[in-house]
Amino acid sequence: MPCWLVGATVVLGALARSTEEEAQELSQQSAFTTFRRWRPQLQIAVLLFFFAQFSGQANILSYAPDMFARAAGCAGMPTIEEVEACEATAVWNAGYIGSFKFLCVCIAVWKVEEINRRTLLAAGT
């Protein structure tokens, strides 16, 4: 048997034993101690969700076409064709905002390991 293969089997055996020991240790822990261990992370996650909903960003994006149409004064247009063109422009503008938001999220997910998570969280708020 080659020397490197013997070393690899020793390392793999030690790895298997350590994962079995960790599994037994986790099974012996109660749910309360596990909750206590993850409590700060859970609090941050719940607070982030609460503030994201409280800020109303998702609700504003739902009504973005209507707000753009009102801001452009679509209701005061003299012909139906102009009103329809104005409303179509408002819908396209809302789509651009949603696409930009999606693009920013994709970049953040892609770069999360290169850029510090804390920095991304601060920049996103």
Find out whether 64 and 87 touch, Cβ atoms under 8 Å: no
Q: What is the pLDDT of residue 29?
A: 62
Note the pLDDT of residue 27. 65
The whole-angstrom separation of Cα 71 and Cα 15 is 64
What's the confidence (pLDDT) of residue 100? 92
pLDDT of residue 30: 62
Q: Which residues of the chain have pLDDT under 70?
A: 1-21, 23-35, 125
Query: 């973005």: which residue's tokens?
Result: 64
Residue 6 to residues 2, 17, 18, 36, 81: CA-CA distances in angstroms?
7, 17, 19, 42, 80
Burial pattern 63-100, b for ≥16 Cβ within 10 A else e, equals ebbeebbeeeebeeeeeeeeeeebbeebeebbeeeeee
